[in-house]
A = this chain, B = another copy of it.
């Protein structure tokens, strides 16, 4: 093996805990133009039937200039950009919050993502720490389209590096109604329910209601690695099976974001008119999802809001629970108790808190 002491190291090892500095801004690589191909592949990979990304005339009838790509497809691509700089040395992805879908991403748009270090907290063991970043994706006109906070536990490489001052940002439990991005151009006043096949408006959903979506989708290793590569997420644990053979899982792990997409697609039956995602308030990937798992989902209505001066639209804050290998209606609770300790049921793979916009009943 030839080594060459005069040439610089070529393989980047990513950032370790001591490399992050409060206030630092990281420009992530590989801007991505999202075309008609990504939209079709996303439908093939998830079975998504949401009307806005399915139909150009339907999108235009609601005020969009053209067909927007699915909110979660945009999120996964924007998120994937951050992996090489933020989470490649992560011990764990601890959480995310305040995910706001600020502007539609249209077919043909190009996304870039940057991240700002907004918090740091070294662990008491001195071997790792928690990094909080706010990431923003912009389109080719530099309009912000997505903004989110996530926090990850990252290894230290140099254990002697001094601990930074502890700064933990305050994060909202959920994006409040007043802060939700509601597109001014979106006009659902004459919403045509034959577009979606769903009869239910904002008024028809009750806080506390639970909807067991009936269908399941079986996802193979090929399915989810195609998705991961489509999103240009280069976290090896999703596509390098040989490396993963020596992990606790013994095989590739499904990218958690793709599980969200599968659940969102399945939730179409019962939430047909949930047009667009305004925010993700938080979420937990409770258990791993692996190839050949069949995913089911249920939704619980957590809250519902209207907006001043908007009679056409309301918001539903929803809890979307993903379950593997048993139908949604066969599981009454997400939790089990062992010796008085409450943990997620081993088949619960996702517990997501998010907010959608949905037309209100015509007067």
Note all chain B residues with C-beta closer than 8 A to A55.
30-33, 110
Copies in the complex: 3
Q: Is the CB of A194 within 8 A of B225?
A: no
Known contacts A29-B195, A47-B229: A240-B223 contact under CB 8 Å: no
Smallest Cβ distance from A283 to chain B, in angstroms? 20
Known contacts A49-B30, A206-B7: A294-B200 contact under CB 8 Å: no
Tell me the complex Cα distance, A4–B301, Å. Answer: 11
Q: How many residues of A contact B (CB 8 A)?
A: 95
Q: Is A171 an interface residue (CB 8 A)?
A: no
Q: Which candidate, A122-130, A150-158, A209-217, A337-345, is the interface stretch facing chain B?
A: A209-217
Tell me the complex Cα distance, A36–B67, Å. Answer: 14
Known contacts A11-B211, A54-B232: A29-B196 contact under CB 8 Å: yes
Tell me the complex Cα distance, A10–B47, Å. Answer: 19
Please, what's the 1-or-0 string for A192-207, where 1 marks a CB less than 8 Å from any CB in chain B?
0011111110001110
Q: Is the CB of B4 within 8 A of A33?
A: no
Tell me the complex Cα distance, A120–B4, Å. Answer: 44
A-B contacts, 14 of them at CB < 8 A, read A1-B329, A2-B209, A3-B209, A8-B204, A27-B194, A30-B195, A33-B55, A37-B38, A37-B41, A44-B230, A56-B140, A216-B236, A218-B252, A242-B325
Interface residues of A (CB under 8 A from B): 1-4, 6-8, 10-12, 27-33, 35-41, 43-47, 49, 51, 54-58, 67, 84-85, 107-108, 110, 140, 194-200, 204-206, 208-218, 220-223, 225-230, 232, 234, 236, 239-243, 252, 269-272, 292, 294, 300, 325-327, 329, 332
